[in-house]
Chains A and B, each alone.
Chain A
Amino acid sequence: MALQDVCGFYDSALYRLYSSSEDSHNSTWREPRAKHSGVPLSFSIPHSQNTIWANHTDAFFSLRSHPSTTSVKRPFHLSHGTTTLAFAFQGGVIAAADSRASAGGLVACPEVAKITPIHSHLVVTSSGSGADCMLWERILAREIRLYQLRHGRRLSIVSAAKLLSLMLHPFKGTDVCVALTLCGWDREEQGKEREAQRAVESKVSMAVKSNKDLSDGEKPVSFCISAASPVGALSRTESEIQRKWKDPEDQSLISSQNTTITQQSGPRLCYVCSDGTFLKGELFSVGSGSPYAYSVLDGAVRWEMCTEEAVSVAREAVYRATHRDAYSGNNVDIFHITARGWRRRERENLREEYYREGQRRRECTKVREIERKKQRRKCVTRTEDAEEKL
């Protein structure tokens, strides 16, 4: 897509097909492509869709005779419903999502990948309608690539999110349903690196020092600053949740490891929604399972946490959300983005986790039963002693 635009190659046969088929129904269809730039696809929007764009152009023709708000009713459901979350901490950004795509009451696909890497330092979590997300991610990737080719440098995460938000704006009012979280790490330009290193570092020192050790080895050596962790959430043994991490093949090695977090570089998180919302933040969760995920995350996420703890918390949040929300489930995917790029944790099926949890609960109740029996026996012996005394 991007290459085609840069070369100026327009498939004339293709565009002729579009224009000839639409010319015949000029009165009933609109071609939005000419009106606004940015969206490379040509959409035929029936008149009755209530877009902002419709309200502008139709004002001149006073189309009050047209049926206003009723649109063509679709006889089928589109895939919806999900739990995705992302948060930033001292060691980068964690993005996690479930893998269920539901259409109405049916699980359309149990193994969808909801987190898509766009380039080596940007990953997008998608939620909403499956087809819309797939296409808008593609459009976003194309626009980012075009910018990179034209300007020779990479768009920052916030700029990419702003671009996406502006491209989605013409479709406000239609039933395009897209809620994307852009998670990434902004890198400094080559020349500004020295300045950035001397620049003020935000937040805690010890955690950042351990982050610098990333450059030395494969696995991050980080110290978990002990703090009160939510009961039960992190009581799993390491062996249970140990998974392989997969690095992307084309990960570019940063020679001068600039892993400091400054105004210009560092972990970034933006949320863009098709209704026009554009938010920057440090913690987002989107989808039908997000309330459950928020409750776990709000209690456990801190800036100073180490990577293992962050992964564990993200996994726990998705696990709890999939348990309570009918439209989320199956597997959990986790991505971790650092200054060196993104890496992906092997997809984990949560079914095993349910069994382990059930096992643990059964053991707990067993222990409680034994305690209760002991207590009862003590009471009985005490009353017996009391009776004897009498």
Chain B
Amino acid sequence: MLSTHSYDANGKMKDYHYSGPVEHRFSPYAFNGGTVLAVAGEDFAIVASDTRLSEGYSIHSRDSPKCYTLTDTTVIGCSGFHGDCLTLTKIIDARLKMYKHSNNKSMTSGAIAAMLSTILYGRRFFPYYVYNIIGGLDEEGKGAVYSFDPVGSYQRDTYKAGGSASAMLQPLLDNQIGFKNMENVQHVPLTQEKAVQLVKDVFISAAERDVYTGDALKICIVTKDGIREEIVPLRKD
């Protein structure tokens, strides 16, 4: 998981417990928590994120969602370092506008994903500390999810979880949506209602077990009719 490497050998958090004399340097990164999830269906895509913004032991805000709408068919979820998330979304918005002005059409989800990969790799030696997941509809109207690592490696998936609770949620999604590690099950295609309900259940479980996830859940459902948003409360402790 993301935050586990800040522990030293004795299990003490390196930032908050004394574990021996250490030279402190200014770190340009901070970890602000949060979980993002995206699921692609036959003709829809869902991008969901929690709305908690935390740092160490403090919660900075309970209303800071991590899904950003890019076009009417694409939503991006960014979690990690909030400063880099904001800058990255600003840069993406600017590039989208430039594309629209020079090509007279909006960027497709696949094109946005390819562009984001090069933007992230341009900072290979001082990366954006952001875990991105793009959810939207492709040119044929089918749901598409693209998941990224902080330096721009990406691929198209059917579902992906990113952020602080990703290691907990991904196996659950593998099982429920990918029907993996189960025997003698029928592979039923996912309907929109079932997918939304699944996302809600998954985030409730994440809020139970991950301290950086909670407060509220924002779900963006992308269909050919547009983007619908839903807010669901989660645990606040």
CB contacts (< 8 Å) of B155 on chain A: these are 109, 112
Contact with B along A142-181 (1 / 0, CB 8 A): 0000000000000000000000000000000011100000
Given A70-B25, A134-B117 in contact, is the A79-B102 Cβ separation under 8 Å? no
Contact with A along B123-161 (1 / 0, CB 8 A): 111110100000000000000000101111111010000
Complex Cα spacing A131 to B98, Å: 26
Chain A CB within 8 A of B203 CB:
no
Complex Cα spacing A45 to B154, Å: 22
B126 touches A135 (CB 8 A): no
Given A13-B102, A104-B5 in contact, is the A78-B122 Cβ separation under 8 Å? no
Stretch at the interface among A36-44, A200-208, A303-311, A316-324: A36-44
B117 touches A75 (CB 8 A): no
Given A13-B102, A70-B25, A75-B5 in contact, is the A108-B149 Cβ separation under 8 Å? yes
Stretch at the interface among B27-35, B46-54, B105-113: B27-35
Of all chain A residues, which has the CB nearest B147? Answer: A109
Chain A CB within 8 A of B2 CB:
yes
CB contacts (< 8 Å) of A78 on chain B: these are 149-151
A41 touches B122 (CB 8 A): yes
Chain B CB within 8 A of A129 CB:
yes
* Residue of B5, B31, B122, B125 with most partner-chain A CB within 10 A: B125
Chain A: interface size category = 35 or more
Complex Cα spacing A315 to B153, Å: 27
B200 to chain A, nearest CB (A): 24
By the criterion of a CB under 8 Å from any partner CB, how many residues of chain B are at the interface? Answer: 36
Chain B CB within 8 A of A92 CB:
no
CB contacts (< 8 Å) of B25 on chain A: these are 70
Chain B CB within 8 A of A64 CB:
no
B31 touches A75 (CB 8 A): yes
CB contacts (< 8 Å) of A106 on chain B: these are 1, 166-167
Given A41-B122, A44-B122 in contact, is the A75-B129 Cβ separation under 8 Å? yes
CB contacts (< 8 Å) of A174 on chain B: these are 125
B219 to chain A, nearest CB (A): 24
CB contacts (< 8 Å) of A11 on chain B: these are 102
Q: Which of A103-149 contact B (CB under 8 A)?
A: 103-104, 106, 108-109, 112, 129-135
Chain B CB within 8 A of A227 CB:
no
CB contacts (< 8 Å) of B150 on chain A: these are 74, 76, 78
* Residue of A13, A14, A49, A133 with most partner-chain B CB within 10 A: A13
Of all chain B residues, which has the CB nearest A76? Answer: B150
With beta carbons under 8 angstroms apart, the residue of B5, B118, B125, B152 that contacts A45 is B125
Contact with A along B171-197 (1 / 0, CB 8 A): 000000000000000000000000000
B46 to chain A, nearest CB (A): 20
Complex Cα spacing A161 to B150, Å: 28
Of all chain A residues, which has the CB nearest B181? Answer: A351
B124 touches A176 (CB 8 A): yes
B121 touches A41 (CB 8 A): yes
With beta carbons under 8 angstroms apart, the residue of A13, A71, A131 that contacts B121 is A131
Chain B CB within 8 A of A73 CB:
yes
B122 touches A42 (CB 8 A): yes
With beta carbons under 8 angstroms apart, the residue of A41, A46, A129 that contacts B118 is A41
CB contacts (< 8 Å) of B27 on chain A: these are 73, 75
Given A14-B98, A70-B25, A109-B155 in contact, is the A130-B122 Cβ separation under 8 Å? no
B19 to chain A, nearest CB (A): 17
CB contacts (< 8 Å) of B122 on chain A: these are 41-44
CB contacts (< 8 Å) of B152 on chain A: these are 131, 134-135
Chain A CB within 8 A of B59 CB:
no
A76 touches B153 (CB 8 A): no
CB contacts (< 8 Å) of A108 on chain B: these are 149
Chain B CB within 8 A of A17 CB:
yes
CB contacts (< 8 Å) of B80 on chain A: these are 76
Given A13-B102, A130-B153, A131-B151 in contact, is the A76-B124 Cβ separation under 8 Å? no
Contact with B along A315-343 (1 / 0, CB 8 A): 00000000000000000000000000000
Complex Cα spacing A71 to B25, Å: 11
Chain B CB within 8 A of A7 CB:
no
A72 touches B126 (CB 8 A): yes
A131 touches B102 (CB 8 A): no
B153 touches A79 (CB 8 A): yes
Contact with A along B1-15 (1 / 0, CB 8 A): 110011000000000
Given A76-B150, A131-B152 in contact, is the A46-B126 Cβ separation under 8 Å? yes
CB contacts (< 8 Å) of B120 on chain A: these are 131
B159 to chain A, nearest CB (A): 12
Complex Cα spacing A112 to B150, Å: 17
Of all chain B residues, which has the CB nearest A103? Answer: B149
Contact with B along A11-39 (1 / 0, CB 8 A): 10110010000000000000000000000
Of all chain A residues, which has the CB nearest B91? Answer: A17
B149 touches A130 (CB 8 A): yes
B121 touches A44 (CB 8 A): no
Complex Cα spacing A106 to B80, Å: 17
8 sample A-B contacts, Cβ–Cβ < 8 Å, listed by A number = A17-B98, A44-B123, A44-B125, A73-B27, A77-B5, A106-B166, A131-B152, A175-B125
Contacts A72-B125, A75-B31, A78-B150 aside, 4 further interface pairs with beta carbons under 8 A come to A13-B98, A17-B98, A44-B125, A74-B127
Closest A-B pairs by Cβ, 10 of them:
A131-B153, A130-B153, A131-B151, A131-B152, A45-B125, A75-B29, A13-B98, A134-B153, A72-B126, A135-B121
B residues sitting closer than 8 Å to A (CB atoms) are 1-2, 5-6, 25, 27-29, 31, 80, 94-95, 98, 102, 117-118, 120-127, 129, 147, 149-155, 157, 166-167
